[in-house]
Every structure is written in C-alpha cells, then in structure tokens.
Amino acid sequence: MTEAQKTFADQKRKTVETAEFTEDGRYKRKVRSFVLRTGRLSDFQKNMMNDHWADLGLDYQNAPFDFAAIYGNSNPVILEIGFGMGKSLVDMAEANPDKNYLGIEVHTPGVGACIAYAVEKGVKNLRVICHDATEILRDCVKDGELGGLQLFFPDPWHKAKHHKRRIVQPHFVEQVVQKLQPNGFIHMATDWENYAEQMLEVLSANENLVNTAEKDYIPRPDFRPLTKFEVRGHRLGHGVWDLYFKKK
C-alpha cells in the first residue's frame, strides 16, 4: 500500500507507532505507561474511523482545545485515559448528557470500536483521541478546565522492576490536578491490590486532593459501568479497588 492509498485510519496507526528522535538524529527512548498494541484494525473499525473522525475524533495540537466550540456547550469535560474498546465510556456519555466526555486510547482497534458504538448509540457528547495522554494533558488542555479524570484498570506493570512504567506517579497526578477545576475529581479503579495501594499513596500525598472515602477506598459506584473484564474478574474471585479524590 502506497502512502497515497492509505486511509486516515491507516495513517493514524502509523502516527501512534512513529519513533521519536532528538534533534541530532538519535533515537529518544521514553519510559511510557503503555505498550503500542495496535492489533488488527478490522475493515469495520477502519471505516468507522475514516467516516466519523470529523465528528467524534480530535487530533493532537500544540495549543489548548476550545472545548466550548468542540462540544457546543460549556458543560464540564470528563477525561478518561485508556478506555479500551470504549463500551463503558460510551455508556457513561449516554447516561450523562449534561457532561462532555473526552477519551484517550493508543490502541487503534479500540478507538475504532468506541467510535462505532458511539455512532450506534447516537452519542454526541463524546470525543476520542489516539495519542499519548501525557502530551495531550501538557499541550492541549488548559489549566483548571477539566471537571474530572477517569482511569479505570490501567496496565498494572505487575513486575516490581516495571513499576516505574505505571502511569500513576506523583508527577502525573500533579499534572492532572493542575488541569482540574476546583472540586474536580480523580476516579481510579484497579484489580491489582498492589497498584491500588500505590494509587492511594500517590493521591494521598498530593496536598491539593481530598479522599472522599471513609476509609481509603470507595465501594464501586453505580455510575461506573461494569466492564466484561471486570465481570470476568469477579467470577475468578478478583478484588476491585475504586479511589475517588476531589481537588480542594
């Protein structure tokens, strides 16, 4: 397939996988919190991305997004990082028309599946991005603009030597807090107890956040849809830990 023959979706996959280099041409290795598992983008998912990106997709830009113009209203924007195949994110957007949802996912088949489900449900208050979340937060979101941040079942990087790759680190939480409105929330969930403990430690250490739980974790709230992954975990006896902090 030549460059001219590539569709938008094909180009998006290439963009996500592009290596980064320094000004003098050396490869620049970053410690990332995700692995580029592009998988096979089905023809259906590809068509959904190609046909509906103008309405449901956003591209990285080196300037803050104008959310009022993008969504056509001033409702609070809830950012979800790593939405997987997107079903729970679309369900939340459908159930909460008074909020705007922005999802970030680097797995292109998941992006295509999310767009397809959003089209099926007729959801209008959702936009998706296929890019590194830390760069989106840094360059595309104004300080004090987000109503909340959702991070559900991020990669646990369960080996101790890989814990530095976990997205929940003090610098990441500080970046998120900077982007939150006063009283904005951070909602995280994981089925790895060790990661839950790390999340609790990092969030509790930020002086601008308050834990809403009576004791460390909250019961799973009804407004967070159960995922197939989570239902399977329950059947296997896995625990799930939800954390809900608010900005002072």
Catalytically annotated residue among 155, 216, 222, 242: 155
In this prediction, residue 32 carries a pLDDT of 53
Is 155 designated active site? Answer: yes
Structure-token pair, residue 67 = 């959310």
CA 102 and chain centroid, separation: 8
Please report which confidence band the pLDDT of residue 162 belongs to, taking 50, 70 and 90 as the band edges. confident
- Is residue 230 part of an annotated ligand binding site? yes
Give the residue-averaged pLDDT of 61-73. Answer: 97
The reply, when asked if residue 132 is annotated as ligand binding, is yes
What per-residue string of b and e applies to 2-38 under the rule 16 or more CB within 10 Å gives b?
eeeeeeebbebbeebeeeeeeeeeeeeeeeebbeeeb
Contact 222, 231 (CB under 8 A): no
Continuous segment of H or E residues that includes residue 51: helix 43-56
> For residue 37, what are the contacts with CB-CB under 8 A and spacing of at least 6?
107
Query: Annotated binding residue at 193?
Result: no
pTM of the model: 0.84
Cβ 173 vs Cβ 139: under 8 Å:
no
Tell me the CA distances in angstroms from 3 to 6, 10, 30, 42, 130, one per residue in order. 5, 9, 27, 19, 20
**Model confidence pLDDT, tens digit, residues 183-211:** 999 999 999 999 999 999 999 999 999 99
pLDDT at position 26: 52
Distance between CA atoms of 105 and 108, rounded to whole angstroms?
A: 7
214 labelled ligand-binding:
no
